[in-house]
Each structure stands twice: as structure tokens, then as C-alpha cells.
Structure 1
Amino acid sequence: MSTLFVSDLHLDPSRPAITAAFLGLLASDARPAEALYILGDLFEAWVGDDDPGEPGASVCAALRDLVDAGVPVWLMRGNRDFLYGQGFAERSGARLLPDPCVIDLYGQPTLLMHGDLLCSDDLAYQAFRRQVRDPAWQAQFLAQPLPARQAFAAQARAASAAHQAQAGMETITDVTPATVADTMARHGVSRLIHGHTHRPGLFPLEVGGRPALRIVLGDWYEQGSVLHADADGFSLSRLPV
């Protein structure tokens, strides 16, 4: 058996084929897995656990089915869905992970992150991240009526789409190598798995003069992307949409 990792699905009502592909994964390849880790940006936006709409409702039910079948699901907040709370966790059965966190993966400590903290050269984004992760800001936002939060998210998605159409996906800042090495050294690991940058691959590096490995998960914009991990190693696979 293997452990599965995904991130950056950006599920949204405007992209039903991607949602269908993920639901298909949950109903098939994920069933014999030892665990499923979702490292952020499962949804394009998450405005609060009280939103009953799609695709959140279907995905939540499918995750609960997987958990009830005996497969643990671990969920990390991303830069698009940082407002997950205990309500979502209880409905889906997923267990929330801090970012960053270290797990034992087949006998080796492995650092898991969404990845946006590693893009430390993007000072404007890091300032935005600190703002929206502040508990006071989140409490104020969640206190607004659901339609107001949904309208805010729709405007943010439109602005993001327009920006990406003009500048291309390369506008997502890549990681800062020194920050990667410093973060891995601080956590005492030689292996890191993250998403966010939409630049999938297995990237060897050195940390403290020793060999290390950074594994980047792929996005789900044009195809699915799944990392399979087992005691023998890692493989990234693409899923048709």
C-alpha cells in the first residue's frame, strides 16, 4: 500500500470536471491507500464552514465516506482555503494539520507544508498572509453574512483570474532556496513535501552538507496530480480530466 498526497486542486463550481476527477480518486485509488494528505488549496475559496454550497458539500461527503472506509484523511490549510474550522473537519472526518508539520513517513521524518511560506521573497504576499491568518481578521470576516463573504470571494477570484490571464501562471512566485534549506534544517529533516508553486517534481538539494529531497506536488488545472509514497520511494502521476 501507499500514502497519497495532493494539493492545489482549486475546486470550484466553474470547473466541474476537476471536481469529478477528485471524487473519482476518492472512490478508487484512495480506497486501498494507507492515508490521504491534502496539502492546501483543495478549494479555490473557502468562506466558512457554514457554506452549504457545491463543490464543498459533495467533497465533504466523499471524504467522510473514505474516512468511514478506514482511510485517514489529513488536511492542511492553503492560501485559498485558510478558513477551515472544526465544522468542516467534523463533517468530512478529515483531521486538520498545522503548517508546517513533521510526520513519520515509512520510518523517515518528513516535513509537510503548503509551500507559500517558502516563497519568502514575495514580501507583499507574506504581508497579506500574515493579515488573513490573524485570528482577529478571521473572526471579523466570518462574522459577516454568508452572501457578503461569497461576494468577496467571487471578486477575489475574478481579480486573480484577470491577473493570471495577463501575466500567466508564472506569476506564482517560486520558493526561495535559502528559505527551503533553513526551514528543513530547523526541523531536522532531509525530506520536504509541499505544493503551492505549481512546479511539480522531485528536486535533490543539500541541507547542512547532506543530501536532501524536496518534492513538489502538481496543481489540478489541466489534469490531476497525485504523489504516491511507499517504503520504496515516490512517484508523481497525472490523472486525466
Structure 2
Amino acid sequence: MPGRIQSVERAAAILRLLAGGVRGLSLTEIARTLELPKGTTLGILRTLQHVGFVEQDAETGQYRLGGGVLRLGTRYLDGNELRTRALNWADSLAGRSGESVRIGILHEGQVLVVHHVFRPDDSSQTLEVGSLLPLHASALGKALLAFDPLACPDEPEPGTELVGYTRNTLTSPEELQHELEAVRSHGWASEKEELIDGEVALAAPIRDRRGTAVGAIGLSGAIERLCDDEGLRREQISYVRDAARSISRELGAHPW
């Protein structure tokens, strides 16, 4: 049986290192972290640059992941009918609401973000495609828990609490089930500072031609923008539900 190819292993190690950083890394930092000779590291980086997997900042000389990796990593997402049909509606929702928009699907007991539209302003933002969110502490997750039959978690052991992310996270399974009943009743989900302090999110389920919830679309933003003295702004809820219904119709769901 052929042995492993060392250069491929080293290239993979460099990509993993760059993927785990919040900023670019210099040649020296990469070589030192991976305990590789600088010359070897530079040769691998130049090859990865050539194929589009790594980019180098012209001013700082630091390296970061390139667009080729993003296209490779989201190849299966591009073929996902939900994401393809939802692109225009997600853009429209971001424009109407003035907030960041995410589309999520159920993935191994979590929410996988398959599409993300930045808030339409000049603020610094981070692309969240591929990130995972907890079901019980996110609006997208609650929408899936309430309407996707495959999202129902196993019956917890008596006294078991869910993971808390802020002081507002619903950690009691009983309280969560009570909220999910309300979500089913009014057709949309929300979370107020349950995952991130100061952030509010709204979401509604996306259904296919069988009427089954196959995903959720929602928006998120600062509590000061999305809430008023009476609570969540009603127009934002309307925008989210309109977008979910439009995408559902694209997927063949009957109007409701």
C-alpha cells in the first residue's frame, strides 16, 4: 500500500492553520507554528496561491485562505436546491430589513448556516457560511425544532439542563418546549440575547412541496434596532415571514 505524501500533509496543515486564525499569518509564524523550514513553507504557500487556495496581502505580506477554498468547501451548498432558490429572497430581506440575513438547515443536531447576506451598510462583518448554531439558543434553531420533525432532540434525562450561552438562554427543556409551542402557534421564532449579548434574531420555517420544513430563514441584529418599547418590531417579523413564504413557494409549497 502506498505511503502518505508528506507535501500534501504539510499543505493540509497550513490550510487548517489559516482556517483557524482570525487574521492573516506571516511566513515566519506559519513556519514556526508547524515546525517547518521557511523555504519549504514558502514553496507550499506559493503553490497554494497558484491554485487559489491561499492569498497574500500585498501590504502586510500575510497569508490567508483564498476564494478557492470557499468555493471548494461550499460546493455541496451551491447544489442545494434550498440555497439556490433562496438567494434572491435573502438579498431582498436584507435590503428591506436593513439587517444581516442567514439561511440555516438541520445538520447533526445543530443549525448549519448555508447562506449569509451581510447587513447593507459599511460596517465590518464576518461571513458565517458554514458556521454551526445551537438549536435551542438561536431563532433559526427554534424554527427548525418547532417545524422540522427530524430536529426533535432525544428525551433529556431528568434534571438535565441545556447549554447556557448568556443569562437569557433557555436551559430548561420544559421552558424550551413551552416556547416551541408558541412558535408553532404564531409561525415564527425569536431569540433575545440568548446566544449573544445585545443581539436579537427572528426566523421562520421554509417548507417544500410536501409541506415539510426543510430549513429556516432569519435576520439578526442589535436589540436597539430590532426592538422598540413594545418588543420586537412587527414590520421585521412581517419581512421574515414574507421571505419564508416566498422561498417555500419557490420550492413548490402550497400557499398558506
Does the alignment reach a TM-score above 0.5?
A: no
What TM-score do you get using the length of structure 1 for normalisation? 0.29
Higher helix share: 2
What TM-score do you get using the length of structure 2 for normalisation? 0.28
Structure with more relative contact order (C-alpha pairs < 8 Å, separation 6 or more): 1
Higher strand share: 1
